[in-house]
């Protein structure tokens, strides 16, 4: 599977929505990064959150290291909302 297809896979990329929102903001604002700072921050926070989950699962020997989409939905539901 190519890198681009992997990044578009909901089971592999937990921050696909945030990534797409950042990209769309850049398109709408003619690549003005200052206009998209909030989207970048949300994406960065998303990546940090799921990286922490992935590292903990790896340390605990849980496979796959990154929870699949359905499991991530349950994790977020248990928190009440996305922490990012």
Q: Please report, for residues 13, 31, 38, 52, 62, the alpha-carbon distance to residue 55 in angstroms, rounded to integers and kept in the order given.
A: 15, 33, 26, 5, 10
CB 43, CB 50: distance < 8 Å: no
CB 16, CB 2: distance < 8 Å: no
> Residue 1 pLDDT more than 80?
no
Condensed to tens digits (0 to 9), the pLDDT of residues 34-61 reads 999 999 999 999 999 999 999 999 999 9
Condensed to tens digits (0 to 9), the pLDDT of residues 12-30 reads 899 999 999 999 999 999 9
Q: Whole-model pTM?
A: 0.86
């Amino acid at each position: 599977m190519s890198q681009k297809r992997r990044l578009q896979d909901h089971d592999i990329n937990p921050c696909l929505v945030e990534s797409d929102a950042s990209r769309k903001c850049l398109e709408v604002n003619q690549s003005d990064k200052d206009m998209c700072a909030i989207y970048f921050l949300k994406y960065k926070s998303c990546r940090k959150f799921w990286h922490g989950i992935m590292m903990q699962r790896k340390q605990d020997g849980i496979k796959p290291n990154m929870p699949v989409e359905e499991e991530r939905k349950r994790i977020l539901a248990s928190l009440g909302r996305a922490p990012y």
